[in-house]
Homo-oligomer: A and B are copies of this chain.
C-alpha cells in the first residue's frame, strides 16, 4: 500500500484529533465533568491550550464530537442486533437491552456524556440514531400483535426509561450497596420486557384462566 503526502498528513491530523478526544474522555473518567477544562485537557495531552483550537473550534465543538462518538459507538452495537435476521425478536430485544446496559457500565463516562450531562438546549432536539435502533427492536418484538404505532412508541420509551434507570444509577452511584449487579440488571430487563409484551394481554390471559 502506498500513501501520498496529503493522505499521510490527514492521517496524522486524525491521530492527533483522536488523541485529544481520548485524553478528554479520560479526564471525564477521572475527574468528572467539572474537572474538565481546556486547560486541564491541554495539560494532560501535553499541548498548550492554544493548540487544542487547531483541532477543535471550541470547547463546545469538542464536547459535541465526544457525545457524537459515544452515541455512534452504542449505535453500531445495537445495529448489529437489529440486523440479525431470522432470530427470535424477543431474544433480540433482550440482547439489545442488555447490550445497552453493558455498554453504559463499560463506558460509564461516555454514558454520562451521552445521556446524563448537559442537554444541548440550543439545538433543536434530535432523536438519536441509538434510540431509533431501540425503537426498531421493540417494533420487531411487537410485530404481528396488532399494536398501534403510538402504543409501540410508548413501550419503546418505557423500556428505555427502565434501562436508563438502572444504567445511570449503577454508573453514578457505584458506592451504593447494590445487590448482585448482574441479577439486578436481569431483573430490570425482564420486567421491562414483560412490560413490552403488555399488561393487557397478560391480564386477559390471567382473567380467562381464572374463569
Contact = CB atoms under 8 A, between A and B. Distances in A.
Interface of A: 32, 116, 119, 121, 124-125, 127, 150, 153-155, 157-158, 160-166, 168-169, 172-180, 183-184, 187-188, 190-192, 194-195, 199, 202, 205-206, 208-210
Nearest to A165: B165
Contact of A165 (B168, B190, B199, B209): B168
A154 to B, nearest CB: 5
A131 to B, nearest CB: 9
A190 B179 contact: no
A187 B155 contact: yes
Copies in the complex: 4
B188 A162 contact: yes
A124 B160 CA distance: 31
A157 B205 CA distance: 28
Contacts of A177: 125, 127
Given A194-B191, A194-B195, A175 B206 contact: no
B162 A191 contact: yes
Contacts of A206: 202, 205-206, 209
Nearest to A119: B172
12 contacts: A32-B119, A119-B175, A125-B173, A125-B176, A157-B179, A158-B191, A161-B184, A164-B168, A165-B165, A188-B195, A191-B195, A206-B209
Given A127-B177, A194-B191, A184 B158 contact: yes
Contacts of A175: 119, 121, 124-125
Contact of A158 (B154, B160, B187, B209): B187
Considering the complex of A and B, which 9 residue pairs feature the smallest CB-CB distances, nearest first? A165-B165, A191-B195, A209-B209, A125-B175, A161-B166, A161-B165, A164-B165, A158-B187, A154-B179
A54 B165 CA distance: 39
A202 B202 contact: yes
